[in-house]
Amino acid sequence: MPRNEPDERLAKYPSTDKFKVIDTIGVPHPYCITPKHVRLGEDAIIAAEKQGAECDSCRKRGRKTLSYKQHETALLVEVADDRELEDIPELHPYLLSIKDMCVKDGFAGFAFKQRKP
Protein backbone atom coordinates (compact mmCIF):
# COMPACT_ATOMS: atom_id res chain seq x y z
CA MET A 1 0.00 0.00 0.00
CA PRO A 2 1.48 3.40 -0.90
CA ARG A 3 2.21 5.41 2.25
CA ASN A 4 0.23 8.44 1.09
CA GLU A 5 -3.00 6.50 1.60
CA PRO A 6 -4.26 6.27 5.21
CA ASP A 7 -4.41 2.77 6.64
CA GLU A 8 -8.07 2.25 7.45
CA ARG A 9 -7.25 -0.59 9.84
CA LEU A 10 -5.90 1.87 12.42
CA ALA A 11 -9.21 3.49 13.35
CA LYS A 12 -10.41 0.46 15.31
CA TYR A 13 -7.46 0.41 17.73
CA PRO A 14 -8.48 1.81 21.12
CA SER A 15 -6.76 4.82 22.63
CA THR A 16 -6.20 5.76 26.24
CA ASP A 17 -4.98 8.96 27.86
CA LYS A 18 -1.40 7.65 27.40
CA PHE A 19 -1.46 5.41 24.31
CA LYS A 20 -2.72 5.80 20.77
CA VAL A 21 -1.99 3.93 17.52
CA ILE A 22 -1.10 6.80 15.18
CA ASP A 23 0.45 5.20 12.10
CA THR A 24 2.41 2.28 10.74
CA ILE A 25 6.15 2.00 10.18
CA GLY A 26 8.23 -0.31 8.02
CA VAL A 27 10.49 -2.86 9.71
CA PRO A 28 13.40 -3.46 9.66
CA HIS A 29 13.08 -0.13 7.76
CA PRO A 30 10.69 1.30 5.19
CA TYR A 31 11.09 -0.27 1.75
CA CYS A 32 12.86 2.22 -0.49
CA ILE A 33 13.32 1.33 -4.15
CA THR A 34 15.42 4.47 -4.78
CA PRO A 35 17.16 7.01 -2.58
CA LYS A 36 14.63 9.57 -3.88
CA HIS A 37 11.80 7.83 -1.98
CA VAL A 38 9.48 7.35 -4.94
CA ARG A 39 6.10 6.06 -3.74
CA LEU A 40 4.86 3.12 -5.76
CA GLY A 41 2.05 0.64 -5.26
CA GLU A 42 2.76 -3.00 -4.41
CA ASP A 43 2.19 -4.24 -7.97
CA ALA A 44 4.65 -1.70 -9.42
CA ILE A 45 7.30 -2.58 -6.83
CA ILE A 46 6.98 -6.32 -7.44
CA ALA A 47 7.17 -5.75 -11.20
CA ALA A 48 10.28 -3.58 -10.73
CA GLU A 49 11.92 -6.28 -8.58
CA LYS A 50 11.40 -8.77 -11.40
CA GLN A 51 13.47 -6.39 -13.54
CA GLY A 52 16.28 -6.23 -10.96
CA ALA A 53 15.17 -3.38 -8.68
CA GLU A 54 15.91 -3.81 -4.99
CA CYS A 55 15.50 -2.00 -1.71
CA ASP A 56 18.06 0.79 -1.62
CA SER A 57 18.04 0.85 2.20
CA CYS A 58 19.04 -2.83 2.33
CA ARG A 59 21.67 -2.35 -0.37
CA LYS A 60 23.29 0.58 1.47
CA ARG A 61 23.54 -1.43 4.69
CA GLY A 62 25.62 -4.03 2.89
CA ARG A 63 23.52 -6.92 4.11
CA LYS A 64 21.26 -9.33 2.30
CA THR A 65 18.73 -7.39 0.26
CA LEU A 66 15.19 -8.16 1.39
CA SER A 67 12.37 -8.25 -1.14
CA TYR A 68 9.33 -6.03 -0.78
CA LYS A 69 7.38 -8.97 0.65
CA GLN A 70 10.10 -9.57 3.26
CA HIS A 71 9.72 -6.05 4.64
CA GLU A 72 7.05 -5.93 7.32
CA THR A 73 4.91 -3.25 8.89
CA ALA A 74 4.52 -2.49 12.59
CA LEU A 75 2.02 -0.33 14.43
CA LEU A 76 3.38 3.02 15.60
CA VAL A 77 2.07 3.71 19.10
CA GLU A 78 2.27 7.22 20.49
CA VAL A 79 3.14 7.18 24.19
CA ALA A 80 2.26 10.30 26.20
CA ASP A 81 4.82 9.62 28.92
CA ASP A 82 8.48 10.56 28.83
CA ARG A 83 9.68 7.81 31.17
CA GLU A 84 11.63 4.85 29.78
CA LEU A 85 9.14 2.45 28.19
CA GLU A 86 10.01 -0.34 30.63
CA ASP A 87 9.11 2.05 33.49
CA ILE A 88 5.53 2.60 32.27
CA PRO A 89 3.46 -0.15 33.95
CA GLU A 90 0.33 0.57 31.87
CA LEU A 91 2.10 -0.08 28.56
CA HIS A 92 2.26 -3.87 28.73
CA PRO A 93 -1.48 -4.34 29.47
CA TYR A 94 -2.34 -1.89 26.66
CA LEU A 95 -0.21 -3.81 24.15
CA LEU A 96 -1.74 -7.10 25.26
CA SER A 97 -5.21 -5.61 24.75
CA ILE A 98 -4.47 -4.86 21.08
CA LYS A 99 -2.15 -7.78 20.31
CA ASP A 100 -4.80 -10.06 18.78
CA MET A 101 -6.01 -7.29 16.45
CA CYS A 102 -2.40 -6.52 15.52
CA VAL A 103 -1.71 -10.15 14.60
CA LYS A 104 -5.00 -10.52 12.72
CA ASP A 105 -4.25 -7.39 10.69
CA GLY A 106 -0.83 -8.77 9.74
CA PHE A 107 1.34 -6.29 11.62
CA ALA A 108 4.76 -7.46 12.77
CA GLY A 109 4.59 -5.78 16.16
CA PHE A 110 4.93 -2.34 17.69
CA ALA A 111 7.17 0.71 17.47
CA PHE A 112 6.90 3.72 19.76
CA LYS A 113 6.92 7.49 19.46
CA GLN A 114 7.10 9.25 22.79
CA ARG A 115 5.81 12.72 23.51
CA LYS A 116 5.65 14.71 26.69
CA PRO A 117 2.23 14.49 28.33
| Under 8 Å between Cβ of 56 and 34 | yes
Say which DSSP state 1 is in: -
Total-model pTM: 0.77
User: Which residues, 6 or more positions from 63, have their beta carbon under 8 angstroms from its beta carbon?
Assistant: none
Helices (H), the chain: 42-50, 56-61, 91-104
Give the CB-side neighbour count of residue 38, counting CA atoms within 13 A.
Answer: 12
Q: Where are the beta strands (DSSP E) in the chain?
A: 19-27, 72-79, 110-114
pLDDT digits (tens, 9 = 90+) for 49-99: 899 888 888 888 887 888 888 889 999 999 999 999 999 999 999 999 999
